[in-house]
Structure 1
Amino acid sequence: MPAPDLLLGIDLGAGSLKASLIRFDGTLAGEASHPVATSAPKPGWSEQDPWDWWRAACAAVPAALAKAGGEPKRVAAISFSAGAHTQVLEDRDGSVIRPAILWNDQRSGPQTQALRRQADDRIVEIGYNRANPTWTLPQMLWLRENEPEAFARVHRLYVAKDWLRSRFTGGFETDLIDAVGTLMADSRTGTWSEELCGLIGWPMASLPPIVQAKDRVGSVTAEAARATGLAEGIPVICGTSDTAVETYGAGMMRPGTGVMKLATAATVSVLSPHAVPHKEMINYPHVIPDHWYVITATNSCASAHKWLRDTFFRRESEDGSAVFDAMERLAVATKPGAEGLFFHPYLNGERSPHWDPLLRADFVGIGFNHGPGHFVRALYEGISYSLRDCLEVLRANGLGFTTTRLTGGGAKSALWRQILADVMDVRVELPAVADASFGAALLAGVGIGAFPDEAAAEAAIRVVATHEPDPERVAFYEKGFVLYRDIQAALAPLNHRIHAHLAEA
């Protein structure tokens, strides 16, 4: 029987669950994914059935095992990740009370405003983050006000990855990073906050014990082994939020290191030896002990790219990936600046630096000279400018960087990577593998001592492409960035008027 030589990372994404098996040197042995459905019962709502997550795990894990050779006893350890803030509520019988409210759900806007009026500065002081509809605290205030019977039944609150992991172990715990992501914890002490929970009347007894992301929290049970094809008794490591393990898996292991995630939304993250509580930034503890990662974010990235493809480029019968490739070729053949065409990616409002849900997307400067390639290039440049906006918030708080790693589906575009290097004036590096399931697998290795410490896992990360900023294009895009910002400022009042006009319809 071969000795255990594989690490399994399981990531619950917004649209699918992915399982990745890696060797101890970081090379990929097998991976598989399975879709997860999202429902929107009302405008702005985003919900999932947690049992869909378990069914997806029971499909993806054996498929990944089969690609890795099919021997379950080769798996040395497992860890998990998922989006922060998303919660699962159980009653005393262990039944799920209602669908999970996702991180991108916007229903708790009024509750967010109420919490800000009540205790805005105090929430930031304790939680190191500002209330907005992404966070669990205002979501649970919405629950209390709109579904009081469900609120009263709550016996346990799980964060998403913890509920999924409990299907494997039967345990009830969370890690510090996900605890901070609920906005119900005291970020200063690493414990649950009676004061923050008291703002919404939340029962403290429903909250799980807080452990470290690398801690072993159990083993695969016999029942879970039968359902997933794993071996009973495999060590299970707690895990943490997807962004934490993505940045970790990309190599963000030293202060001043940046990571940009080009996914459905996009983030700019930097590792810091301390938190920087600020109403325009997001602060989390990191996988690296005694360090924090600070985030700014733009709402629409790969989602905007997909929207452009599906709206203007793709016929129903065409393969979506092939259409993306054709769009890339068109953009490559287009000059920097897209001949004066600008794009602002505010298809779903905007976070950093504007924090304005009423901003709207635009293409500005259209002329007869513009063809399909100009629109694709303008989209790449516009999202890059938006990420530059995010970076400027970090720089203003002493958190800049000169090198960044890229993660997410948008990082596949070599042109986009170079545009980012030129717009940001930073070195851009592409890891061979840097998704959340890979980072979770590395964390599983840390948990069982396969790596001496968290930073030692860096040896398993390989960079496969590097892009240096071109001085001439840096100067060109610096002027373009000024124009980008001026257009945004000019159109913002009109965006608000459009919203008011629609409200009257």
Structure 2
Amino acid sequence: MTEFFLGIDIGTYETKGVLVDTAGAVHATARARHGISTPHPGHVEHDAIDVWWSDFTSVSRELVAQLNPGDEILAVACSAIGPCVLPVDSQLNPLRPAILYGVDTRADEQIADFERRIGRDEIFRRSGNTLTSQSAGPKIAWIADNEPAVAEAARWYMTSQSFLVAKLTGEVVIDHATAGYYHPFYDLTDGCWDLSGFTDILRVEQLPALRWSSDVAGYVNAAASAETGIREGTPVLTGTSDAVAEAVGASVMDDGDLMLMYGSSGYMIRVVSEPVADNVLWSAPFAFPDSYVLAAGTSTAGTATRWAADVLGLNDAAGDAAMFSALMDLVHEAQPGADGVVHIPHFSGERTPFHDPGARGVFTGLSLTTGRAELARAVIEGVAHSVVAAVSAYTDIGLRPKRVMAIGGGTKNDVLVQTVSDLLGFEQNCAATIGAAYGDTILAALGLAITTKSDIRENWVAIDATVSPRSHDDPTVETLRRAHGEFLSTYTALRCARSNEEEKTE
């Protein structure tokens, strides 16, 4: 007989599940694809039943079917995109499609109204953040303003994993890490709901009960067992958002740890032992008691790599791996610094540290000797410059990471990761992790006290490679440092120029 933990993660376009034994070994995986709905400009939604619950049940059944007689699932944990807003009735029936996280930008008017109500300073004091499209609170207000019948019928407002846990157990809970993004309804310092100034929009009993991610929320009920194949009575963890689960899955759990995710965009989570409010970084609780995070993100990373391959005419008929290999062959033909060509990969604006949705991509230093190799290298180094600018926000406030765990497809890009290490002076450990679903199983193992954080670091999460920075006085590092200075100065000049033009047109 083998004992397992079941982890399932619901992403924007795909659901992934994994069965992991009590030693951290992966025994089976499963996945399901889905799409998003964009009924109006700026509106991005998922159907909670047809996407979240349907994917969960199908992936769960596929994994349960791979158990041998006598095998047992000790606990289930799920993570999902967040923060989302889903109003449900008292029977947990969704009253409308779920409004997704920061990609949904419908609530600008509500953000302005919230700032008028209690002021930006009070919002920042309470939540440790300013209001953005990532904030769930204004989206709840959008429902009240635009769909009053839905708001009237709403018994609870849930996020994605809250809904899944409720379907499995009947318990309505939310983890502190995700609740921390329900600005301005969550008090970051006191760790509780605070609806002061907003009781005309929402009652506190309409929000889920607060729990830590590794807390057992409840147990699989008979109805859920019939749909998922999971044994009735199996413990279900509270779970968390996908980014937090990614961090846990890379053993990023202690003060000083930094997760550096190289995906289609970049995302960073730095664990701290007390709440830190910063105007550049995003503050929230973490998965465990007395732990918090400062998060950062770039808008473009892997998507710039794909763009470069397309523009340079690299054939993708043989598949993405062959196309990436061809791109990297070009990159390696050019010297570090790309012969003076510097790229700013702000194709979709930029997040940390600039928070500038109007920013756009730029090449500087082009000459008649610039070729395809220099352009290819400049794009990869440009992504590295954007990552370095974001991570530098931590060092700027005295929170230099003590341990860096790199994850995501970009860790396979040797030029990208080496350039980041060279410019930051950090050693990066490239973690061998399969993502948020694996982090879910770690939460389950910790929640049931089957293992410890130190055991996770030492035995569960392997290191594929360690990338050390070159010597500070290496000529290559000096070249990259000059290019990074040009990256920053060019962005600053362009933003000033845009601001001047905007003032002229007002």
Q: Tell me if both proteins adopt one fold, taking TM over 0.5 as the criterion.
A: yes
Deviation of the 1:50 alpha carbon: 1.4
Partner of 1:481: 484
Tell me which residue corresponds to 1:342: 342
C-alpha deviation, 1:367, in angstroms? 3.4
Match of 2:489, as an amino acid? Answer: D
Structure 1 residues 400 and 476 mapped into 2: Cα distance closer, same or farther (>3 Å)? same
**Aligned residue type for 2:8:** I
Matched, 1:383 2:383: yes
- Residue number in structure 1 paired with 2:495: 492
Question: Aligned equivalents of 2:139 and 2:70: distance in 1?
Answer: 39
1:138–1:311 distance in 2 versus 1, CA, 3 Å: farther
Q: Aligned pair in 2 of structure 1 residues 489, 316: CA closer, same or farther (>3 Å)?
A: same
Letter in 1 for 2:482: K
Distance 1:64 1:356 in 2: 43
State the Cα distance separating 1:136 from its structure 2 match: 0.2
2:31 and 2:204 map into 1 onto residues whose CA distance is: 36
1:318 to partner: Cα distance: 4.5
Q: What is residue 172 of structure 2 aligned with on the other side?
A: 172
Output one character per residue of 1:133-155: Cα deviation in whole Å (capped at 9) or x when no partner. 11101222222333333333321
CA distance in 2, matches of 1:149, 1:447: 39
Say whether the 8 Å CA contact 1:126–1:187 is kept in structure 2.
yes
**Distance in 1 of aligned mates of 2:232 and 2:311:** 48
- In structure 1, distance between residues paired with 2:147 and 2:315: 43
Write the deviation string for residues 325-373 of structure 1: whole angstroms up to 9, x where unpaired.
3223322333211222222222222221111211112233333433444
Contact 1:185-1:196 within 8 A present in 2 as well: no
CA change 1:375–1:403 in 2 (3 A) is farther
In the TM superposition, 1:122-161 aligns within 5 A as: 122-161=122-161
Equivalents in 2 of 1:72, 1:319: separation in Å?
Answer: 41
Q: What pairs with 1:334-483 in structure 2 (closer than 5 Å)?
A: 334-401=334-401, 403-433=403-433, 435-451=435-451, 453-459=452-458, 460-471=460-471, 472=474, 473-483=476-486
Identical residues among aligned pairs (%):
24
| CA positional deviation for 1:70 | 5.3
Query: Do the aligned partners of 1:158 and 1:207 also contact (CA within 8 Å) in 2?
Result: yes
TM (normalized to structure 2)? 0.91
Residue 311 and residue 113 in structure 1: after superposition, are their counterparts in 2 closer, same or farther (change >3 A)? farther
Retained in 2: the 8 A contact 1:421–1:428? yes
After superposition, residues 309-320 of structure 1 pair within 5 angstroms as: 309-310=309-310, 312-313=312-313, 317-320=317-320
**Which residue of structure 2 lines up, in the alignment, with residue 19 of structure 1?**
17
| Residues 287 and 454 in structure 1, CA contact (< 8 A), matched pair in contact too | no
Secondary structure of 1:194's match? coil
Indicate if the aligned counterparts of 1:249 and 1:461 stay in contact, CA closer than 8 A. yes
Which residue in the other structure is 1:54 paired with?
Answer: 53
* Most deviating of 363-372 and 228-237: 363-372
Residue 209 (structure 1) shift: 0.9
Superposed CA deviations along residues 64-113 of structure 1, whole A, max 9, x for unmatched, are 445x5556843221111122211211134532122211112122233324
* Aligned-partner Cα distance in 2 for 1:64–1:334: 46
Quote the Cα distance in structure 1 between the aligned partners of 2:197 and 2:390. Answer: 28
User: 1:16 is matched by which residue type in structure 2?
Assistant: E
Where in structure 2 are there 5+ consecutive unaligned residues?
A: none
Q: Residue 205 in 1 paired to residue 244 in 2?
A: no
CA distance in 2, matches of 1:203, 1:311: 52
How far did residue 178 of structure 1 move?
1.4
How far off is 1:402 after superposition? 5.0
In 1, Cα distance between equivalents of 2:70 and 2:203: 40
User: Alpha carbon RMSD of aligned pairs, Å?
Assistant: 2.6
Contact kept, 8 Å, 2:175 with 2:287, in 1: the verdict is: no
> Partner letter of residue 457 of structure 1?
I
Is 488-497 or 32-41 further displaced after alignment?
488-497
Aligned to 1:45: 43
The whole-number CA distance in structure 1 between the counterparts of 2:397 and 2:69 is 50
Q: CA deviation at 1:440?
A: 0.9
Matching residue of 2:191 = 190
Q: Which amino acid aligns with 2:115?
A: R
Q: Distance in 2 between matches of 1:312 and 1:113?
A: 43
Counterpart amino acid of 1:334?
A
2:95 corresponds to which residue?
Answer: 97
CA distance in 1, matches of 2:324, 2:59: 26
Would the alpha carbon gap of residues 151 and 450 (structure 1) be closer, same or farther in structure 2, given more than 3 Å must change?
Answer: same
Letter in 1 for 2:57: C
